[in-house]
Amino acid sequence: MKIPKFQDIILFENDDYIILNKPSGFPVLEDRNLPPSHNLLSLIRQERPDAQVAHRLDKETSGALVVAKHAEAYRNSSIQFEKRQVEKEYHAVVEGLQEYENRKIDIPLRTTNKGIAVKDYQGGKRSETIVSSLAAYRRHTLVKCHPITGRMHQIRVHLALIGAPIAGDEMYGGQWVYLSELKRRFNLKQGEEERPLMQRVALHAYAIKMKGLAGDEISAQAPYPKDFAVLLKQLEKNK
C-alpha cells in the first residue's frame, strides 16, 4: 500500500504525545509479509527517533493511535492502559438491526495458536465491551464500542458472539456488503465483477482520551476514512 505522509495523519501533538489517524492496511509494527519500512512505527521513527507506540490496532483497523515521544511519556501511558484508565471509542458497521444501549458484553476470551480469539469460560481472560447503537439502516447498524479490556480481536469476536458480526469480518462470520444488495435498481456492466463497498473489516478507532504527564486531558477524534464513509453513505441512501 501507499505509505502515508506523517504530517497528514497527525490528529494531536504536544511535547509528550502524538495521536495519529492510522490508515487501514498499514500495520503498526513490522510485518514479515511487507518491506521493513511498511509499518507505522518505522514511519514515526523517521520523524521522532525515540518514539514508541503506546498500544496497537489491528492491521485492517483504521483510527486513533497514541504515540509516546519519550520514555517518561511511554511509562505514563502504559500505566493508564494497564489500569484501564484510557477511554477508547470504536465505531463498527454490524449485520442486522441491533438495538443496544450500553449493553455490556462480558465474555472471557482466549487466543488460539492460529491467532483467532475464542470464548473460553475456563481458561480465557476477562474481556468486557460496552456497545450502543448509533444508526440503523435496512439490514445493518452502526454501533459504538467502548472496550474496557484490550484483548486481541476483542470487539470483533464479542460482536460476533452476540449475533452482530462486523461487516467484512470473514474471520468471525461477517459478510461483505455489496451495492447490488442495497440498491433496488442496480445494473452491473457485462463482464464486470462487483466488488464489496468496503474491502476490509468495517471497524474504526473513532476516539481516544487519556491523561498527559501533568494530569491534563489528551484526546482526539479520528475522521472516518474514505471507505468507511462511503459505506455509511450508501447504507443511509438505500435504507
Residues with a catalytic annotation lie at: 58
CA distances (Å), 137 to each of 53, 69, 93, 94, in order?
A: 36, 41, 10, 10
Helix (H) or strand (E) holding 17, with range, is: strand 17-22
Residue 184 is placed in which grid cell?
433496488
DSSP string, 191-223: T-----SSSS--EEEEEEEEE-TTS-EEEEE-P
Cβ(68)–Cβ(77) under 8 Å?
yes
**What is the three-state SS of 92-143?**
EEEECCCCCCCEEEECCEEECCCCCEEECCCCCECCEEEEEEEEECCCEEEE
Residue 137 is placed in which grid cell?
439502516
Which one-letter DSSP state was computed for residue 144? Answer: E
